[in-house]
Amino acid sequence: MKGKLAGKLSFFLIKILSITIFVWISGACNINTMNEWAAGQKPFPGVITIQNLNNGKSVYLSWEADANAESYRIMRAVNDGSTAMFTERKDGEDGYYIQGPTSAIDSTLEDDKGYFYRLDKRRNGEWTTGLEITAFSQTRPFPGAETPKVESFRADGNLLISWHYDEGADEYILMRSFDNTVLFSPPDALDVAYLGTFTEVYRGKGLQYLDKNVDPLNDERYVYKLYKERNGILYKWDKDIALGVAVKAEEDRHEPNNIEAEATLLETYRNANIYCYGFSLQNTFLEDIDWYKVNIPPGKVANMVIENSPPYTSPSQGYFLLYAPPFPTTQIFHGLEFQVRNDTDTQRYIGFAIIPNKSVMLTSGRGGMVIGYTIRWVSIGDV
C-alpha cells in the first residue's frame, strides 16, 4: 500500500488479485489521527480483500483482525458513476452471510455491475470509516466477435446465415447490405464503408436466419455482419463480414473438393460446376475451386478435355485455369485437350485443380457467374 497521509485528501493504491484499485481517505487524515492509531485509541481504517467466486456471481470478503476494534460492519454501494450511497450488509439478508470473525460472502451480485465495499470498525461506540474497495461482477464472458457463415447456392435460391452460441450474448443482431456496385477509386480492401448501407434483418436468440428477401434471378450479392447485445449494450464488429450470393444454382454433388486433400477421383468423366463472384471490397471474392485426382502410370500424361455447359461454349473464352503443381497455372479452353503429367518413376494419383479465370468471369473485378462443365479423361500418352 502506498499513500501520503497528509492534508484533507489522500489516496491509496491497493493491489488485490491482480486488480489495481484506487481508494481514498477523506476528512482529517493528519499526524494527530496517525498518533491515535499508533496509540491504540482508534482502530486503523479497515481494508477488505476481495476474491471472486462462482464466475463473479459472489465475492468472498476478508480482512485482518484488529485488536483495537470491538466489532466490524461491511458497507456496500453500487458503483454506477453517481454519488455512492453505502448501506450496511446484514447477516442472512439479501445474499450476505458472515463466514467467521473476519470474513463474509456476498452473493447474488448483478451481472456487469460494479460495487463499492467498505470495512468500518467500532470502538467505544464510535465507528471508524474504512477504505473503499471496488469489486466488479461479471457472471459470464463478454460477447466475442464472430464472422457469420453464409450458405449460398441453395435449391430455393435463398441464403442461410448461421453463427455459434455465445454465452455472453443476450441477443444476436444480423446486419445485411447489398454489395455496392459503384466503382470507387481506389477502393480500400479493409474499408467496409465501400459497401452499401447495412440494415438489420434479424434480431433474436436464434442461431440462424433464412434470408428469403433476396434476388436469385439477378445473382444479387450480399454482405452480412453479426452484432451482439448484452445487458442493453450493443457490441459491434464492422470488419468481420461474410459474403453471399443469391443464385438459382446448386453446388455440384462432388463438393466439398476445394482442397487437394478432398480431391474427387476422376476415372472417366464428371459433371460439375464452378463459380466466381467479385465484391466491391478490393480483392474480395466468393469462388469455387474443384480439385481432382487421376491415376497415371510412371512417365505418362493423362489427356483431358473440359466442355462447358451452354451458353458458355465458345472456345475463345477460357473460363477456367489449370493448376497442376509444380507446373505453372495455364488457361484451358472449351473442347481443347490439356494434359496432366506424372514425371515420377512410379504409378500414382496426380492431383490438379480447376480454378475460375477471374479476368474472364468478372467485370472490373465485380459481378460473376456460375458455369457448368463436364471434365473427361480422354487417353494416356507419353510425356
- For cell 460446376, name the residue: 273
Of the residues 191, 222, 245, the one at which a domain ends: 245
Q: How many CB atoms lie within 10 A of CB 118?
A: 22
With respect to residue 142, please indicate whether it lies within any of the assigned structural domains.
no
The CA-based angle 325-331-336, given to 5 degrees, is 110
What is the domain-level CATH number for residue 60? Answer: 2.60.40.10
271 and 371 share a domain?
yes
Q: How far is CA 214 from CA 161, 170, 196, 246, 287, in A?
A: 13, 27, 15, 6, 19
230 and 268 share a domain?
no
Of the residues 137, 166, 199, the one at which a domain ends: 137
pLDDT cut 70: percent of the chain above it: 84
63 and 124 share a domain?
yes
16 and 50 share a domain?
yes
89 and 208 share a domain?
no
With respect to residue 252, please indicate whether it lies within any of the assigned structural domains.
no
Q: How many CB atoms lie within 10 A of CB 96?
A: 19
Sort residue 125 into left (φ over 0), alpha (ψ -120 to 50) or beta: left
pLDDT tens for 57-78 read 889 999 999 989 999 999 999 8
**Residue range 328-353: average pLDDT?**
93
Which of 340, 324, 333 shows the shortest CA–CA distance to 381? 340
With respect to residue 30, please indicate whether it lies within any of the assigned structural domains.
yes
Sort residue 293 into left (φ over 0), alpha (ψ -120 to 50) or beta: beta
With respect to residue 294, please indicate whether it lies within any of the assigned structural domains.
yes
- For cell 483482525, name the residue: 65
Q: Please say whether the beta carbons of 291 and 266 come within 8 A.
A: no
Q: Please say whether the beta carbons of 315 and 336 come within 8 A.
A: yes
What is the domain-level CATH number for residue 365? Answer: 2.60.120
pLDDT value of residue 2: 34
Task: Print the domain residue range for 208.
Answer: 149-245
With respect to residue 44, please indicate whether it lies within any of the assigned structural domains.
yes
Which of 304, 381, 300, 292 shows the shortest CA–CA distance to 347? 300
The CA-based angle 111-117-118, given to 5 degrees, is 175
Q: Please say whether the beta carbons of 133 and 50 come within 8 A.
A: yes
Of the residues 198, 215, 245, the one at which a domain ends: 245
Pairing type for strands 264-265 and 290-296 reads parallel
Q: Cα separation of 203 and 78, whole Å? A: 31
DSSP state, 274? E
Q: Cα separation of 207 and 161, whole Å? A: 9
With respect to residue 76, please indicate whether it lies within any of the assigned structural domains.
yes
Q: Cα separation of 375 and 293, whole Å? A: 12
With respect to residue 77, please indicate whether it lies within any of the assigned structural domains.
yes
224 and 289 share a domain?
no
313 and 237 share a domain?
no
What length is written for the chain? 383
Q: How many domains does the chain have?
A: 3
19 and 125 share a domain?
yes
pLDDT value of residue 339: 93
Range of lowest pLDDT (166-175, 231-240, 363-372)? 363-372
127 and 227 share a domain?
no
* Cross-strand pairs, 62: 49, 103
210 and 265 share a domain?
no
Q: Please say whether the beta carbons of 226 and 254 come within 8 A.
A: no
105 and 35 share a domain?
yes
* Cross-strand pairs, 337: 305
**Residue range 294-308: average pLDDT?**
93
pLDDT averaged over the chain?
A: 83
For 13, phi then psi, to 5°, come to -110, 115
22 and 61 share a domain?
yes
pLDDT tens for 157-190 read 999 999 999 988 999 999 999 886 543 334 444 4
With respect to residue 1, please indicate whether it lies within any of the assigned structural domains.
no
